[in-house]
Structure 1
Amino acid sequence: MRLISLIVVLVLSTGAAFSDSLPSWNAGEAKARILAFVDAVTDPKSEDYVTPAERIAVFDNDGTLWAEKPVYFQLLYALDRLKEKAAADPSILTSDVLKAAAAGDLEKVAESGEEGLLEIVMVSHSGLSVDEFQKDVADWLGTARHPTKQMAYTDMTYQPMLELLRHLRDNGFTTYIVSGGGLHFMRAFAEEAYGIPPEQVIGSTGNTRYEVLNGEPTILKDPGIAFIDDKAGKPVAIDSRVGRLPIFVGGNSDGDFQMLEWATSGDGPRLGVLIHHTDEQREWAYDRDSHVGKLQRGLDEGPGRGWILIDMARDWGRIWSGSTN
């Protein structure tokens, strides 16, 4: 790791080194450490060199690659569909969180966290085929607008993170999404939005089954949750789906803590980053007391573990992919 430290010093002292790689990032320690890490692990002469096959990078989605306020975007989508189904059949509202969702009580829904989100999604979309579901998601994303920002949701991806994903891939990394969000929801847009293909998206899953309908082999979405890809579930999912310990891992909340803890515990060079939402003017400012994207343990323990806390207000010159702000 000595070479990485030397490169950080060089970048901070020159200010101009690697400036074109992450143009939406402001000069500073966060940018310098990231670039130094990538440079060191890709230099065959470096003591920290990592072969391309082992250059695995994993990222959370909500709050890390795109925004997550006032609630997860997948939930806003699911609320629209749940209301439609409940109007036709009120008996589907079998829990308090489902009743709150149908009534539009976003505060109560937000308090339910990832598990509440998944319950709403699984109920609102059971009975659809995977293909039908993903087409419906894509159609919704093409027309829906954020309730307060009035932006298309796909314009609310973070430009600095798009640049980071591209920079990693340009340097031989394979990039994965590892998120508590629904697998099929994210697969509907991840390749177009992030350049991450469906097979490199890992998420929470509902029950599914295979059936031949009208002569067509079909995967159907059924009620119920099969796996929640959050907290301790994330390392388990990475182990089963990727089979390698990541060397670069990014998140934004305590739901990502175990993923960062596990990935950065291995031998050799490793880097963990946490997006700290500090920009009330351009985005939102939240951490310890937030129902969505709560960041407490990461703030307290992250720096001592060598993780980078990326301060959005300080470290990012631009926030959104869909605007210059």
Structure 2
Amino acid sequence: MKRSRMNLVVGGFVIVALAATMTACGADDKTDASGASADAVHTVAHARGTTDVPADPQRVVVLEPVQLDTSVALGVTPVGTAVLSEATGVPAYLGAEAAQIETVGTVTAPNFEKIAALRPDLIIGTQTRHGDLYERLSSLAPTVFMATQTDPWQDNVRFVADALGKSDQADVVLGDYNARCKEIATERGTGNKTAQLIRPRDDVLTLYGPTSFAGSTLECAGLTIPARDWENSISVDLSPEFVSGANADIIMVTSVNPNDPTTLPSTIADNVGFFPNPHLVDMSYWITGVGPLGGLAVLDDIERILETNG
């Protein structure tokens, strides 16, 4: 049976409910609404050392897409989140409840005053992006930092789960993602097909490799990204005159509006010999929606595209 993003979210809530019930059975009088001890903490090792954080944080602020996606997947709705673009806000694929999360600036420039106003009891950030803010953030609430957003995304999912006190549940949500990959690979016979994700930019095409979030999901589903020198990076840029170098059996092209065929760049649309059947896909989860829910959304698209290709 096909696994979906909704199955993952529901599964996460079931686990959370069971965990809360088990905690309540042994709780003393000093408990919060969830049944956890109000003073309970656990120690998280992170990029800036070790920090004691609430065992069951209730007012979480996250500063990175993978932290937002993972929190929602684990049944924790942050009170605040940094976003990649304040104009677009929280990605729609995360659902209606997530859309109500207060935004606190952008991923690259979080707004300290907005974060403070939310009275967080846990802040999760990233050393490479937010290192200069660590002391200020730590003055507001226990703060833990991933090392970098470019680390393998599943490792970062596990880090976020640990910070939230839900390490065991990380195995569940990632297990659902990996099972969905295997299901598609088996049912669609992807082993002999190549695939390439392309992100059009102003004057180049950015190709995503096997270590990127989307690229790793393509390969998790049994597809192969054509070999090239990835220059120790998740992606490489290709000049339009070398567009043929982006060819593969299945081509995905990111768009802010994949339902609008005019968003397909002329560099690809005018080269039907190399790209006879390109597929527009939603940038909000193929590129920016890193995490278990974004992964399932990408896998849904992959299955749809494979069905279209026959």
In the superposition, the TM-score normalised over structure 1's length comes to 0.30
Q: Structure 2 length as normaliser, TM-score? A: 0.31
Which structure would you say has the larger RCO, counting Cα contacts within 8 Å and 6 or more residues apart?
1
